[in-house]
Amino acid sequence: MISAVPPGLILIAGAGLIPFVGPTTRKALALILPVLALLAMWATGPDGGAIWSAPFLGYDVLPVFYSSIGILFATVFAIMAFGGALFALRSAKPTEMAAAFLYAGSAIGVALAGDFITVFVFWEIMAIGSTLVVWSGGTDAARRAGLRYALIHFFGGVVLMIGLIGHVDQTGSVAFGAVALDTWAQWLMLGGFLINAGAWPMSSWIPDAYPEASPAGTVFLSAFTTKTAVFVLWVAFPGTEALIYVGLFMVFYGIIYALLENDMRRILAYSIVNQVGFMVTGIGIGTEMALNGAAAHAFAHIIYKGLLLMSAGSVLYMTGRRKCTDLGGLFQSMPITATCGIIGALAISAFPLTSGFVSKSMISQSAADQHLMWVWLLLTAASAGVFLHAGIKFPWFVFFQKDSGLRPPDPPWTMRAAMILFAALCLAIGIFPRPLYALLPFPVEFVPYTGSHVVAQLQLLLFSGLAFFLLLPLMKRTLTISLDVDWLYRRAAPAAIAWFSRDLRDLIDGVLGGTREQIGSIVDSLARYHGPAGLLARTLPTGRAVFWVLVILAAFLVFNFS
Amino acid sequence: MEKHWLVRPKTIRLLWIAMYAVLAVTVLLQIVFHVHGEFGVDEAFGFNAWYGLGACALMVVGAKILGTAIKRKDNYYD
């Protein structure tokens, strides 16, 4: 019975209900809907194929299609919606909760899409839902960052749509599957996907927008947009070599910027770029193990990044501060938040017994298996860098370092419960990786826990830890931000426009600062040319229009005469 | 008020000693568990230890240098 209900639409319909029901029903809905979505998809299970198809514009669209990879992403999206809702239960406004569910539901919609038309429709709903989540931050900064966020995503949507239309025109198919990268249309599709993945140079929207949302809003944001992009890249462009380089650049860009950053949630936002870089590199390598690794890493990442942002969100919720320079010493009064944050930090660093260890190592191993030495060396260096920027830097500057004197207690129980649940998942996946491996699209022959691998990883991570503490004087936090690509559209472009429109500004200054007579003369001259009887307001006589049509027709004939 | 036991200088000194001991053990463990490599260099003794340390030092110094060019006061965009 429930298997016939599209899982994504359960959350989207719920989003429509949430603002109009009482607080108790709302809380119940927020927790029940993701569970219903999970039940609906698992009633059919992976490889169940299309459960819904319909003709649209002459194409067969498959709005709900169960593939093993789609189920994997949809499952973790539903788990995230549940954990995020539990974390948000106390603090989120009804509209924010509704926006989050619209966002989560459309992400599930993308994961279970069987054709590009469905992908695109949910892709755009996702952009709307996520923008509303950013705006729910409620501050002036959130309003402005949300607008920039929306502009980027609708621009990405346009690029994607042009690519999709070209692709459908060239191939005659809307089927959502692997696409050969051989015409401009497919390059545009790749570009549209990469904008949402946060690939450089379109990556600064992540640290720009995500940290401006509410503590709970950022948790939702971290999970869906970039990971649906990983999902569509996985399906459409596996083994595309360019993605190896794009991914590696993202990996190091994320580390370097996170090392410079002072705002704890911006550190974690840059580390999203870094982690998505690992997945994109895996997709670029494109072997079965690499693709398994990318999928598993996306699954693990959503949970540990959600956990890290819950931990940071709890700190923000209890202290109202988010800059490392204002924080420190919180482990004394927020032990649960600190412990969960540390577990998330170990998971992101791929420490043995955590989820990152059993997922990321598949990507590195696949590079080694393909004898891609430089890729492997860079991924290994980056793994060390992850421990540096997220594994130690985040917990160290927030919970330890100098004592800020702040002594807030742990957050309310719903927020603690969400953190404990996700921390438990990070450990459970790390200690018992088999259920996750069983979900992966290809058979897994990889064994993460060998003495050799554990020793190598411990050496790498613990010596990165040594580097951190030895170099601590170089990492002293300052009250600064770092310029990123968004500087181009936040500063350079407006400055250029202002410079080119100096005349306009002079006019405005003249109008604003002019005498009554000066303003009167401007109004008179405007009226003379643009008024009802003005020269420029007259309609052209019909005869003149016919003349110009003839000229155009003649020109057309001349140029086409051959 | 007395400082939390974890941040007293005595504890911190002990933690440093413990850390160096653990680091030494992880390198020595390689004698028992041979690290399998693909490329030769990754089988060098303590490869992951010195490579990780060196890579981190490079990244921190690299970030520091880049920071001198791109860091701005945090109210820059306000």
Q: DSSP characters for A461-489?
A: HHHHHHHHHHTGGGG---SEEE--THHII
pTM attached to this predicted model: 0.88
Q: If we measure between CA atoms, which residue out of A503, A297, A319, A282 comes closest to residue A410?
A: A319
Q: Smallest Cα–Cα separation from A216: which of A25, A330, A76, A86?
A: A86
Name which of A251, A428, A442, A258 is nearest A357 in CA terms: A428
A32 touches chain B (CB under 8 A): no
How is residue A390 annotated by DSSP? I
Which token pair is B2?
């007395």
SS3 sequence, A94-149? HHHHHHHHHHHHHHHHHHCCCEHHHHHHHHHHHHHHHHHHHHCCCCHHHHHHHHHH
Task: List chain B residues with CB under 8 Å of A328.
Answer: none
What whole-number percentage of chain A has pLDDT above 70? 99
Rounded mean pLDDT, A49-66: 86
Three-state secondary structure along A272-299?
HHHHHHHHHHHHHHCCHHHHHHHHHHHH
Q: Which residue has the higher pLDDT, A167 or A511?
A: A167
Examine the pLDDT at A255 and tell me if it is beyond 60: yes
pLDDT confidence of residue A499:
83
Q: Which residues on A lie below 8 Å from B7 (Cβ)? A: 329, 400, 403
Sign of the CA dihedral with A397 first, then A399, A400, and A402 last: positive
Question: Two tokens at A222?
Answer: 């971290």
Closest residue in A to B48 (Cα) is: A460
Write down the residue that tokens 């404990």 correspond to: A420
Q: Once rounded to an integer, what is the mean pLDDT over residues A160-184?
A: 92
β-partners of residue A50 are A65
Res. A296: pLDDT tops 60: yes
Least confident of A57-66, A103-112, A340-349: A57-66
How far apart CA A400 and CA A77 sit, in angstroms, is 32
pLDDT at residue number A17 = 92
On whether any CB of chain B is under 8 Å from the CB of A458, the answer is yes
Token pair of A193 as six digits: 């996907």
* A47 has a pLDDT exceeding 80: no
- Residue pair A149/A103 in contact (Cβ under 8 Å)? The answer is no
User: What is the Cα gyration radius of chain B?
Assistant: 20
Burial class (CB in 10 A: 0-12, 13-18, 19+), A502: exposed
Is B36's Cβ below 8 Å from some Cβ in A? Answer: yes
Mean pLDDT of A324-348: 93
CA–CA gap between residue A346 and residue A25 (Å, rounded): 37
Give the strand pairing for A49-56 and A59-66: antiparallel
Quick: pLDDT tens for B13-61: 999 999 999 999 998 988 888 877 788 888 888 899 999 999 999 999 9
Interface contact B52-A461, CB threshold 8 A: yes
| pLDDT at residue number A561 | 66
A21 and chain B: CB distance < 8 Å anywhere? no
CB pairs under 8 A between A and B: 146
Confidence bin at A1 (pLDDT 50/70/90): low
Residue A452's contacts (CB-CB under 8 Å, 6 or more residues apart) are B33, B34, B35, B36
Q: Is the dihedral of CA A168, A170, A173, A176 positive or negative?
A: negative
Q: What whole-number distance in Å separates Cα of residue A405 and Cα of residue A417?
A: 26
The DSSP line for A314-349 is HHHHHHS--BGGG---GGGT-HHHHHHHHHHHHHHT
Tell me the pairing of strands A59-66 and A480-482.
unpaired
Q: How far apart are CA A482 and CA B59, in angstroms?
A: 16
Q: If you count them, how many residues does chain B have?
A: 78
pLDDT score at A26? 92
Q: What pLDDT band is residue A539 in, cutting at 50, 70 and 90?
A: low
Residues of A in contact with B30 (CB under 8 A): 455, 459
Sequence-distant (≥ 6) Cβ neighbours of residue A189 within 8 angstroms: A160, A163, A164, A167, A179, A236
| Residue written as token pair 């931050």 | A137
d(CA A404, CA A333): 12
SS3 A51: strand
State how far residue B4 is from chain A, nearest Cα, in angstroms. Answer: 7
Residue A131: its pLDDT value, please?
95
Please state, rounded to an integer, the average pLDDT across all residues of chain A.
Answer: 91
| B7 in reach of chain A (CB within 8 A) | yes
pLDDT at residue A74 is higher than 60 = yes
For position B1, what pLDDT does the model report?
60
In the predicted model, is pLDDT for residue A562 greater than 70? Answer: no
pLDDT at B2 over 80: no
With a cut of 0.95, is the ipTM above it?
no
In single-letter form, the type of residue at position A244 comes to I
pLDDT for the residue A513: 76
Residue A377 pLDDT greater than 80, yes or no = yes
Q: Is the pLDDT of residue A452 over 60?
A: yes
Q: How far apart are CA A558 and CA A159, in angstroms?
A: 36
Average pLDDT over every residue of A92-118 = 94
C-beta atoms of B67 and A482 within 8 A: yes
